[in-house]
Structure 1
Amino acid sequence: MKKWFFILLGVSFILTSCGHDNDMAASETTELHISVAASLKDVMDNVKKTYEKENPDTKLTFDFAGSGQIKERVKSGAPIDGILLASEKDIDELSAKTTEKTQFAKNALVLIVPSKNAVQISNLNELSSFDKIAIGDPDSVPAGKYAEETMQNLGVYKSLKEKLVLASDVRQTLAYVASGNAQAGFVYQTDALISKDVKVSQSVPENLHSPIGYYAGIVKDSTHKAKTREFLQYMTSKKGQEVLAKYGFKPVD
């Protein structure tokens, strides 16, 4: 009888220890909250799977929005560990709230039209041919600001202002054109690649707008700075750059 008692006691101890180990493993997982520019959504879904597989002690939670919206969230003290923005200007304006600014990708601006029954133009000087042109709100969406700069440098912004349909982020701009609610729109080249309902009408020369760069930073109030740093280093690593390249993003020089 005593023999069975000690056997059962041993089994109970082992099961209790295993449960304790599992609890310890779960408690050691760090969840990082990263706010990400909307134009990065598709590639970041891939990054999440790859990174979490290679780093099982880290869970990535992303929220996607326009870079300007993310900037305001950081300023208001939202619980964010790191940021990935599509504008150097926006991250520079957060220098008091963030640290370790790092560029990790580049992009290009294009004019898109619906895949079917689109108004055709031969160059950007013919933008007046469109009744409605979708762009991100220049006050909060970097892609919209680049589009505004492009039209200003072409000398057509004032004449087209009444035709502009403002979107909350670049993905909404894409949706406006894909659905036919706008005849054309300015988005990033990478956004144009993800939808079969739009096609590129014109590529925008780089000299018509500010450089399009993606920048990362660590929020100073984060309690997970070391883990956030590891993740941001992954974005500039060879593996991270290869994932970005698959989605059309250009590498940093």
Structure 2
Amino acid sequence: MMKSLMRVLLASALGLVLSFGVSAKEKVTVFAAASLTNALTDIGQNFDKEHGTETVFSFASSSTLARQIAQGAPAELFLSANQKWMDYLVENKAVDSSSRVTLLHNALVLIAPKDSAVKDVTISASWDLKAAVADSRLAVGDPDHVPAGRYAKESLENLNLWAQAEPLLARANNVRAALALVERGEAQLGIVYATDALVSKEVKTVAVFPESSHKAIAYPLALVNSKPSTAAKAFYDYLKTDAAKAVFVKYGFIIK
């Protein structure tokens, strides 16, 4: 009798497990430029609440992420901080080129520590950059690899300031690392995106680089697989909704 009762109880327990399940949430793996950290984290949380998914982000320099994807890293979506590294993946047939869209734009700014005596700066060929940096450094994403650094170099070259700037650079692995150098006072000035300056309480924007001095700062998005998972395609579509755009705008990104 006792054994029969135990079998009934076990069967009931098994039925409950099968009915309610312990199935893992469907994951979405997104590789994205470091400058998107705050906005995408918020968007991912909103998406997961609506869809019962688990969105996982890997934030780093676009160049680092693109190389990882080309080598087979398990990303499902890629959001780059410039067109070059998306071009690289398209050329290597590592993303679904038909899904490629330009999602966002940004601006390039000069920042200083919040308590710095540096105020509004007019960036032109006559600007004495060396005197402004003094005995410190100019923090920037490494121009050899990091999109923000490439934009910075292009702008400084077009403004005839690169010869002054190059020996003074503190080259960072990504734009957020350049921001951190200025936040900690390890660099007197830094060049980052407007969105990075906006999220930091430790820095202030002292100048905006002329748009005409560099290529448009564009963020292309693409699915990595031509046959994406249902969750990956849903997140791809969600990034283009008004709800997601509102979050991007909140963090200073430009929607065109």
* Alignment TM-score > 0.5, same fold: yes
1:134 match: secondary structure:
strand
| Alignment partner of 1:98 out of 69, 72, 95 | 95
Find out whether 1:232 has 2:236 as its counterpart.
Answer: yes
Q: CA deviation at 1:51?
A: 0.6
Query: Matched residues in 2 for 1:118 and 1:215: separation?
Result: 37
Residue pair 2:141, 2:149 contacting (<8 A) in 1 also = yes
Offset at residue 194 of structure 1 (A): 1.3
Q: CA deviation at 1:83?
A: 1.0
Q: Secondary structure of 2:171's partner?
A: strand
Partner of 1:79: 74
Match in the other structure for 1:110: 109
* Change beyond 3 A, Cα 1:180–1:77: same
RMSD across aligned C-alpha pairs, in angstroms? Answer: 2.1
What percent of counterpart residues are identical?
A: 32
Q: Distance in 2 between matches of 1:244 and 1:198?
A: 20
Stretches of structure 2 that go unaligned for 5 or more consecutive residues are none
Q: Deviations over 1:151-199 (max 9, x none)?
A: 0010110222101111001111111111111111111111101112110
Is 1:118–1:183's contact at 8 Å kept on the other side of the alignment? no
Deviation of 1:12 (Å)? 4.2
CA contact (8 A) 1:36 1:67 kept: yes
Confirm or deny that 1:220 pairs with 2:255: no
- Residue by residue over 1:224-252, the C-alpha shift from the partner in whole angstroms, topping out at 9 and shown as x without a partner, is 4442121111011111111111111111x
SS of the residue aligned with 2:190?
A: strand
Q: Distance in 2 between matches of 1:38 and 1:103?
A: 17
* Correspondence 1:202 to 2:201: no
Counting only pairs closer than 5 Å after superposition, residues 1-253 of structure 1 correspond to structure 2 as 12-23=10-21, 26-27=23-24, 29-56=25-52, 58-95=53-90, 96-99=93-96, 100-120=99-119, 122-125=121-124, 126=127, 127-128=129-130, 129-131=132-134, 132-220=137-225, 224-251=228-255, 253=256
Once the 2 structures are TM-superposed, how far is the Cα of residue 10 of structure 1 from its aligned partner?
Answer: 5.8
Q: TM-score, normalised by structure 1?
A: 0.89
Distance 1:103 1:14 in 2: 53
Displacement of 1:140: 2.0
**TM-score (normalizing by structure 2):** 0.88
Q: Residues 197 and 204 of structure 2 are in contact (CA less than 8 Å); yes or no, is this contact kept in structure 1?
A: yes
Conserved 8 A contact 2:27-2:231: no
CA distance in 1, matches of 2:244, 2:37: 15
Compared CA separation, residues 121 and 244, structure 1 to 2 (3 A): closer
Per the TM alignment, residue 218 of structure 1 is displaced from its structure 2 partner at its CA by 1.3
- Give the whole-Å Cα distance in 2 for the aligned partners of 1:120 and 1:48: 36
Where 1:171 maps in the other structure, the secondary structure is helix
